[in-house]
Amino acid sequence: MALTKPKLTIAIPTYNRYTQILFQVRRLLPQLNEEVKLIVRDNNSQEAIENLFSFEELELFKIERNHTNIGADANIIRLFEFCETKWIWVLSDDDFVLDNAVAKILSIIQKYEDFIFINIDHNRDIELIGFDAFVNDLSLSKESFGDAFWISKGIYNIEVLRPYLIYFYKNISSMIGQLIFLLKCLEENPTLIVKRLKCEVFEYKENGISWSHEDFIKYSSIIFQIFDRKKVKFLNRNLFKIIISTYLSMLIGGYRNNKYLNARGNHNMFKFIYNRYGFLRTIFTFPIKSCVICLFIIFPNDQLNCIINILKKNKIK
């Protein structure tokens, strides 16, 4: 009897997060079957990941260990490059899955087998044909934009996308390389279809942010520079507002909670946004958020909180 050829690779990049990877893999192992391969890419953790698992467990999945730490983005892209199945699900080690997650994903890729990208755990169901339709949908909200490059929420048809991995490599430090190479493929193949759908597969917990807001603000703006002139104009018209809104929201959250960046870092990123995208354009597009950030710059955090509390107490809006 011929063996069933695997159609899905679940690929988990990890580095020095032993509790998370142990929990994630053990949640996945009982869900595996002949249609699914599980690969963990250890980015040269201080203790080899394989030491966490029993011999019996190691027989059920594969661990690939880098000779040195090559960075998170490079570790992710190697999973794409060496994938041997049609579909790949690159899953963060701390986006813990539900007990029936794999069965749901297999059902989805069977139903949408001719699609290029399936965005799971989205807030609505929609099919989008080509570059323009996808970008327009990304522009609807911060959540719509963020879901597209949240690595664990994407199932990629790597058989179609593989020739475009070069754009992921060229923009590896952008922190949205997985979105860029998808967009490049759609740019050249306007009939390909993206599916975004509601499908709960994660056990959500408050894990905090493990990536740098400062790096994201600095490097993700490259998306406005790498497409042909017409597409760049289209991106500036449609995606500019949501990306800058995302950046400013990050800064406001950072000021308010003293998280992600210190005061000087937030201030520098604020100036970077204005310099990169234009002072007047940013001010006129986002007057309220810009004013809020200016208040955070002028007043120390405790004084500003005191002002806000006084206004609330006196019901002054």
Domain boundaries, the chain: 8-196, 213-313
Torsions phi, psi of 9, nearest 5?
A: -110, 125
What percent of the chain stands above pLDDT 70? Answer: 84
Cβ proximity of 87 and 158 under 8 Å: yes
The pLDDT tens digits for 83-102 are 999 999 999 999 999 999 99
CA dihedral 166, 82, 176, 94 (to 10 degrees): -170
Q: Given CATH 3.90.550.10, say whether it is the number of domain 8-196.
A: yes
Question: Which conformational region is residue 12 in: left (phi greater than 0), alpha (psi within -120 to 50 degrees), or beta?
Answer: beta
Give me the residue label for tokens 């740019």.
Answer: 187
The pLDDT tens digits for 197-232 are 999 999 975 555 566 666 777 777 778 778 888 888
Residue 89 half-sphere exposure toward CB, CA atoms < 13 A: 27
The pLDDT tens digits for 243-287 are 888 777 777 766 555 555 556 666 777 777 778 777 787 888 888
Structure tokens that stand for 168 in this block: 């992921």
pLDDT confidence of residue 243: 80
Distance from C-alpha of 159 to C-alpha of 163, rounded to nearest angstrom: 9
What pTM value is reported for the model?
Answer: 0.86
Longest distance between any two alpha carbons in the chain, whole Å: 78
